[in-house]
Structure 1
Amino acid sequence: MDASFERASQEDIAALAAFSPPTLHEAMGQRGAMSACIRPIYPGMKLAGSALTVRCKPGDNLAIHVAAASAQPGDVLVVDNDGFVESGPFGDVLATACQARGAVGLVIDGCVRDGPCLREMGFPAFSRGLAMKGAAKTLPGEVGVPIVCAGVAVSPGDVVIGDDDGVVVVPRALIALALKGAREREDKEDAIKQKLKAGATTLDLLGLRPLLQPAR
């Protein structure tokens, strides 16, 4: 287990957090979007931080306990739990441990439990849903290693951004590209919106009319 990997700067994380996950996904060439099944457990939850990666076996959460004990301020636990939905290996006890270390959220390809408590604590959790069953603590798993979570490759220290639209992962090597592309995309969309308000149509602005012509 190694939690001493390089993390993105807080300035870069804050800059990325100013954009929505869909905008960042498009800005990176439609990359980084986790499966749509990964949602905030309650509407309005947002997260932005450095990925502290975890790989654990379905039904076992020992590795998550290890990660919580080694988290640094600004970390987001990103857990590959193999999509297992019959237990909730993360709940209010682990959320309390994470908050005490300064961790700012959780993304898990699986479920969590104690949903109402997590909401009351203000701890953002993104998962496949809620499941009340507990987990064993017998298999060490891995922490601080490259994983695949909900279809997306995640390396320790990548930036994780989440809101009601879902979760996007920005690799550290692509931060500058994502920021540049996101700014350009927002400027372009703002210009389109102004033209739409002035009476233009998306059919003309996006060049869609030729697609409506009958095939010859």
Structure 2
Amino acid sequence: MLKRFAELSTPLLADACVRLGEPLRAAPAGVGPVVPGQRMAGRVLPVRHYGSVDVFLEAFETHAAPGDVLVIDNEGRRDEACVGDLAVLEARAAGIAGVAVWGLHRDTPDLVAIGLPVFSYGAHAPGPVRLDPRGPEALRSARFGEHTVGADDMVFADDDGVLFVAAGRAEAVLGTAEEIFRTEREQARRISAGETLREQTRFAAYLARRAEDPSYTFRRHLRAIGGAIEE
């Protein structure tokens, strides 16, 4: 899945979801890679954090498969970091492809050296000082912003953010994203060659049509001519 994602991006996948009518499930803005340029893709390995690392170890021991991405629900907390160097080293040893945290990380220099992709809101020195009662969903699902994800979801992440797609729809989303990518690359090539985007999209014709029919939208126009810049 990561190989298929290599030439794509989360914006392309988001556009593909819109085009296909799939739920658009993106992590909140601000979640990004510890190391710029890191990217990851894989099945969601969900955990909910209650203040102790044991939930990560149990997930690795009982639920993980090589290539999974550990998705940590720490309720978006900004008062503690919930993952650091030891947890990420253990994730790598378990064959995990990356870590996405709805919260904060710490041990930044060590995470950079380890090299496993880690996405979070950012760094924070204090770790958890609490130990909350563990709920029954601890290893079944993870919340990430307004979305709840589980093992039947895929996660894709790059410099633009983190996106979740139902596993059963990932192939269709990737295929549509590839189509959009090819169209946009050709549009970019033509702009560089001197043919403006306005010319390519027949923008003057669109304005004339809209003057006659105010309900005629640019997206409708793009669909009619095979453009792909907005969806």
Task: Work out whether the TM-score is over 0.5.
Answer: yes
Displacement of 1:171: 1.2
Instruction: Find the residue that maps to 1:123 and give its secondary structure.
Output: coil
> Aligned with 1:130: secondary structure?
coil
* Residue-by-residue CA offset, 1:51-98 (whole Å, 9 max, x unaligned): 1011234x5554334224333211111112111011111111111211
- The answer to whether the 8 Å contact 2:67/2:97 transfers is yes
Q: How does 1:11-50 map to 2 (within 5 A)?
A: 12-29=1-18, 31-50=24-43
Q: CA deviation at 1:157?
A: 4.0
SS at 1:29's partner residue? Answer: helix
User: 1:118-175 CA deviation, whole Å, 9 max, x = no partner?
Assistant: 1101121100111111124553343442333133332214221211111112211211
Alignment of 1:29-178 (within 5 A): 29=18, 31-57=24-50, 59-70=51-62, 71-135=64-128, 136-137=130-131, 139-141=133-135, 142-178=137-173
User: Structure 2 stretches of 5 or more lacking a match?
Assistant: 215-231
Structure 1 length as normaliser, TM-score?
0.82
Distance 1:17 1:161 in 2: 10
> 3-state DSSP class of the match of 2:170?
helix
Q: TM-score scaled to structure 2, two decimals?
A: 0.77
Aligned mates of 2:106, 2:70 — CA distance in 1: 16
Q: CA deviation at 1:200?
A: 1.7
**Can you give the 5+ residue segments of structure 1 that lack an aligned partner in the other structure?**
1-11
CA distance in 1 between counterparts of 2:207 and 2:78 reads 43
Partner Cα separation in structure 2 for residue 193 and residue 116 of structure 1 = 37
Change (3 A) 1:198 1:18: closer
Q: Are the aligned partners of 1:52 and 1:143 in contact in 2 as well (CA < 8 Å)?
A: no
Q: What SS does the corresponding residue of 1:42 show, helix, strand or coil? A: coil
Query: How large is the Cα RMSD of the aligned pairs?
Result: 2.6
How many residue pairs align between the two structures? 204
Partner of 1:201: 196
For the pair shown, the structure with the greater C-alpha radius of gyration is 2
Residues 40 and 125, structure 1, Cα contact 8 Å, conserved in 2: yes
